Structure 1
Amino acid sequence: MESIGKLSTRVVEHLRDPLVKSAVRVKSSIMGEAGKFLRGKEFVELLPTIISPITDPLNHEVHNAKFRYYDQEYRLTQSMIFHKQLACKTFDRIFIVSPNVRLETSEKALSGRHLFEFSQIDLEIRNAKRDDVMTLVEDLITTLIVEVKSSCKEELELLSSNPSIPTTPFTKVKFMDAYEQYGKDFETVLSSSFKEPFWLIDFPIWEREFYDLLSQDGRTLKDMDLILPNGFGETLSGGEREWEYQRIISRMEFKGNDPEELAWYMEIAEAGELVPTAGCGIGVERLTRYICSLDNVARTRLFPKVPGRSWI
């Protein structure tokens, strides 16, 4: 056989890795059980939006990914936040297994937690509150771990992983309390010290995007992150959404967002056609990494794309 290049060799080695094979099987079970669970809760599954004139502006640096097709500029979907909100005009409860492309900066290559192509279990509920979503997610995560431990015994044994069934309700930690006690790296400190998943709640207004609902105190947001224990870190972000036009404009001014970049969404908001919703996005690869006790999310995909590195 003729020799192949270094990149091709790396791809073949990855595809042959028994840990990768087991992790991908576990991930398949996670997605299957999640869909079964959500359909049982009367959620309607939607197909993902891959490209759109608008996408999540995010609150951290990424490289822009956009192109023109005829007279329209499109972007790769960084998250389906706006589409989820709009979909709740039609359905009370929706979910999507949504691919996301976020061209992260290269310093995240060594985190073990970042891919620039990954999947989320996105869900959104009309007229829901943050606590409704948190309770649902606690039930979902617990169910997933129970079912995966039953259906993927051989894979978890090969991976030397025995994830514990978390106690509900999960502990809640306020952002500023943690920040004041542990400093800017508080999430890493807490994730390493906790033995069960916990919620990080009440982020300050400057920490998140304009679409997160501002509390009556005018300082904190009705949002949350789910933090995995034993150093595995954040796997979910979500919360209640802004839906009134003037409040959205005010939040965009505070964050420095340009309404013109979200033109048709803003027109819908101005017409009073948005509805109050709450929801979240669960990082499939990060949750799989935790359940499989892996050192890197790259091992949860056959064709992983790590920031700043070549792959297929």
Structure 2
Amino acid sequence: METLNQNDDYVKSEIERSMRHLADPKVQHAIKVQSYIRSYVTDFLREAGYTEIAPIIISPLTDPLNHPVYDPKIHAYGGDMWITQSMIFHKQIAVQELKKIFIMSPNVRLETEEKAGTGRHLYEFTQIDIEALEKSREEMMSLAEDMIIYTISRIKKEHSEELKYFHRTLPDYQKPFPVITFREAEEKYGKGFETKLSKDSTSPVWVIDIPLKEREFYDREYPDRPGILRDMDLIWPEGFEEASSGGEREYELSQILDRIHKKGQTEEQFKWFIELAREGIKLTTGFGIGIERFTRFVCGVAKIEDVTTFPKVPGRISL
């Protein structure tokens, strides 16, 4: 792990590395592609009746996540706040009145150092976050498919020169995308199946019905299948792995409290959300797609740091 020493040599080397990165033609072309993706997904969502809201950067409430990260906590004004790891709770709150929303949401997830070599992890990234009121998982899966097909189609039609630069040929994907349950994927490919499933696929593929232990407390269980969630993950083909994660959300107070306790968490951690649920909320469903991962897939590049301006790779303090 590289550490930030307060000396001129470290600062100089990081500045030089950043400038070499920005001067790389591959990075410049990928940044253009990312710009098109940002534009096209927002065009699609606005046309579909979704309202863009501003991102939340800091709050007393953020996603607890289901894997180890360093804690991005700040103490101020006599209390604790967190830099946004995802806007999951804010989405669920805002959509109660706004019905259908999306956010270009900056996320900070201070991943542990072993994630540095995966080629697909950054500790600062942008997520296109989408949520709708009283929509089912299947309806939101269909929306995601339409959005991805629309975006890739426009890039192929309007910016084929960028794909030629990367020697990248993308098929015309058709909906519905293939679907496999978590249990079926594990039986076929074994535990940690995502990489093998991705390499084996020629189209984006959905993984559904994810066990409770694999997820955070806020995603909704089947009423008649305890321990199984009405979730969906989208996996990119060709070994590019996770594209999206989402699902239906718990909205009944008793279920929310039960799930918090099952995950070994405390009601104090989520008192803001519990109070909202006590007042009464309705079912919402949504998902998030990492913009940098979307760009990496479209460009077909190995390292996610090559698709963004100032990449934050786990384990290194960068500009």
Q: Could you tell me which residue of structure 1 aligns to residue 35 of structure 2?
A: 28
Q: Which residue of 2 aligns with 1:256?
A: 264
Distance 2:225 2:200 in 1: 30
Residue by residue, what CA displacement relative to the aligned partner does 1:85-142 show, whole Å, maximum 9, x if unpaired?
A: 0001211100001000000000000000000000111000000000000000000000
Identical positions, percent = 45
Matches within 5 A, 1:78-93: 78-93=85-100
Question: What is the alpha-carbon distance in structure 1 between the residues aligned to residue 107 and residue 131 of structure 2?
Answer: 17
Match status 1:281 vs 2:288: yes
3-state SS of 1:56 partner: coil
Matches within 5 A, 1:140-289: 140-215=147-222, 216-272=224-280, 274-289=281-296
Partner of 1:102: 109
Amino acid at match of 2:55: P
Give the stretch that moved more between structures: 154-163 or 15-24.
Answer: 154-163
What is the TM-score normalised by the length of structure 1?
0.97
Q: Which amino acid aligns with 2:250?
A: E
Does 2:314 align with 1:307?
yes
Give, in angstroms, the shift of residue 5 of structure 1: 3.0
1:294 aligns to 2:289 (yes or no): no
Residue 140 of structure 1 aligns with an amino acid whose one-letter code is M
TM-score (norm 2): 0.95
Aligned-pair distance for 1:55? 0.4
Per-residue deviation at 1:8? 2.0
Cα distance in 2, alignment partners of residues 242 and 58 from structure 1: 16
- 3-state SS of paired residue (1:202): strand
Once residues 309 and 167 of structure 2 are traced to their aligned partners in structure 1, the CA distance between those partners, rounded to angstroms, is 20
State yes or no: 1:123 paired with 2:130.
Answer: yes
Aligned-residue offset at 1:185? 2.5
Deviation at 1:310, TM superposition (A): 3.0
Q: State how far apart, in whole Å, the 2-side matches of 1:264 and 1:209 are.
A: 17
Deviation (angstroms), 1:180: 2.0
Structure 1 stretches of at least 4 aligned residues deviating more than 4 Å after TM superposition: none
Greater CA drift, 219-228 or 3-12? 3-12
Cα shift readout 1:285-306 (whole Å, capped 9, x = no counterpart): 1011000001111111110000
**SS of residue matched to 1:219:** strand
**What SS does the corresponding residue of 1:162 show, helix, strand or coil?**
coil
Cross-structure match for 1:136: 143
Q: Is the 8 A contact 1:22 1:156 kept in 2?
A: no
Q: Deviations over 1:39-72 (max 9, x none)?
A: 0011010000000001000000000011122213
Give CA deviations for 1:196-228 in whole Å, capped at 9, x if unaligned: 100010001111111110012112100010000
* 2: CA distance, partners of 1:173 / 1:17: 39
2: CA distance, partners of 1:55 / 1:257: 14
Q: Distance in 1 between matches of 2:20 and 2:162?
A: 19
Task: List gaps (5 residues or longer) in structure 2.
Answer: 1-8
CA distance in 2, matches of 1:150, 1:22: 17
How far does residue 261 in structure 1 lie from its aligned partner after superposition?
1.2
Deviation at 1:22, TM superposition (A): 0.7
Say which SS state the counterpart of residue 226 (structure 2) adopts: coil
Equivalent in the alignment of 1:7: 14
- CA deviation map 1:28-49 (0-9, x unaligned): 1011011110000110100000
How far does residue 270 in structure 1 lie from its aligned partner after superposition? 1.4
Mark the runs of 5 or more structure 1 residues left unpaired by the alignment: none
Determine the C-alpha separation between the residues in 2 that align with 1:144 and 1:291.
10
Give the CA deviation at 1:309. 1.7
- Give the Cα separation in 2 of the matches to 1:16 and 1:283: 24
Number of matched pairs: 309
Tell me how large the CA RMSD over aligned residues is.
Answer: 1.2
Report the Cα offset of residue 152 of structure 1.
2.0
